[in-house]
Amino acid sequence: MAKSSNPVASKPSKNHFSPLGSTVLMRAAVWKNGTQEVVALVTGVDDAAEIELNGADYIISVTAFPPGMSSRIMQQIPLYKNKPEDDSVLCAWLR
């Protein structure tokens, strides 16, 4: 296989971020009506072109690990860079 003649094209961009595999905090109505923060692992990133973001940076799928309960797989969770200040019950944010 031939090497690329453009060394810049073969290097991954340092500005590109994918939340896949990241640990996030999230809340959902199933945990104390959205008042408890739960740790979750990002297991998928949905195609944002098909889903309305409403200010979220990504739409993700997660496996959540609530304390004292079984893990739960959840889909179409809006992911924000910082914890949302509004009362969004179903959301996730970077730790």
- pLDDT tens for 20-39 read 999 999 999 999 988 999 99
Tens-digit pLDDT profile for residues 43-76: 999 866 566 677 888 999 999 999 999 999 999 9
What are the two backbone dihedrals, phi and then psi, of residue 48, each rounded to the nearest 5 degrees?
Answer: -70, -20
pLDDT at position 39 is: 97
Question: Cα separation of 33 and 3, whole Å?
Answer: 55
Q: Which two tokens stand for residue 94?
A: 């970077």
Interatomic CA distance for residues 68 and 79, integer angstroms:
24
- Helix, strand, coil % over all residues of the chain, rounded to 5: 5, 35, 55
Q: Please state the domain extents for the chain.
A: 19-85
